[in-house]
Amino acid sequence: LAKTTQPISMDSYEGQEVNITCSHNNIATNDYITWYQQFPSQGPRFIIQGYKTKVTNEVASLFIPADRKSSTLSLPRVSLSDTAVYYCLVGASGNTGKLIFGQGTTLQVKP
Amino acid sequence: GAVVSQHPSRVICKSGTSVKIECRSLDFQATTMFWYRQFPKQSLMLMATSNEGSKATYEQGVEKDKFLINHASLTLSTLTVTSAHPEDSSFYICSAIRTSGGEYEQYFGPGTRLTVT
């Protein structure tokens, strides 16, 4: 399973766009990239998943360069409620298999 | 959307006793479920893979005789912490795999806070 590296923490202000980059140099050909959000004392919540290029949904965008050795989660116009820990994970066949969580990025959104 | 529940949400037990935590997939069948443990300010640590109808697969360093996993049906997996000790106090989270139209999605439960006194 590919190891991921993310910044430990990030600060932002309400209304700003936040980009969190994850490195996964050893990603395998059949690995997908998935991002989860976790609030204190809650289970992780799925945000977005992608394989290559760009994926966008109602809450975020995921940018994946051609070499797939990194990915960037983009959160548009964050609010205080986006303060959470964000995890980047890579694994085969999307969510089929076990996920190994890295340290995650603690995002603090300030007013 | 798919929902995974856990019961209880929090439990306090005395040292030496056993505690059972349930993980249920509420609107889908899950042949595979996972159990994680999370200590304060730390990331989730995968403990084991629970497969319906077969023995669980434990991650390295996780004692299978201490953390008993039973996946007796397609919607229920249980984790029993046997002879619990204060160091077993943690946040236990399960997840379940749902397959739909050839796609696979993993959903996490809300977690169970275990405190051993």
For residue range B24-68, list pLDDT tens digits in order: 999 899 889 999 999 999 999 999 999 888 889 999 999 999 999
Cβ distance of B43 and A42 shorter than 8 Å: no
Res A91: pLDDT: 81
- 3-state DSSP call for residue A72? strand
Candidates A41, A45, A100; nearest CB to B113: A41
B78, two tokens:
């249980």
Using alpha carbons only, what angle is made at residue A47 by residues B36 and B111, rounded to the nearest 5 degrees?
Answer: 30
C-alpha span between A7 and A11 (Å, rounded): 11
C-alpha span between B100 and A83 (Å, rounded): 31
Candidates B93, B95, B104; nearest CB to A93: B104
Q: Does B103 touch chain A (CB under 8 A)?
A: yes
Say if residues B59 and B113 touch (Cβ distance below 8 Å): no
C-alpha span between A44 and A63 (Å, rounded): 21
Res A80: pLDDT: 97
**Residue-averaged pLDDT of chain B:** 92
CA distance A57 to chain B (A): 15
B57, two tokens:
């697969």
Phi/psi for B37 (5° steps) reads -130, 140
> Residue A5 carries which DSSP code?
B
Tens-place pLDDT, residues B67-106? 999 998 999 999 999 999 999 999 999 999 887 776 677 8
Size of interface A-B (CB pairs under 8 A): 50
Candidates A42, A95, A98; nearest CB to B49: A98
The A residues from 54 to 93 touching B (CB cutoff 8 Å) are: 87, 93
Q: Find the closest chain A residue to B50 by CA distance.
A: A98
The B residues from 36 to 75 touching A (CB cutoff 8 Å) are: 36, 43-46, 49
Query: Among A32, A35, A89, which Cα is nearest to A57's?
Result: A35
What's chain B's length in residues?
117
C-alpha span between A46 and A69 (Å, rounded): 21
One digit per residue, the tens of pLDDT, for chain A of length 111 reads 668 999 999 999 999 999 999 999 999 888 889 999 999 999 999 999 999 999 999 999 999 999 999 999 999 999 999 999 999 998 865 445 778 888 999 999 999
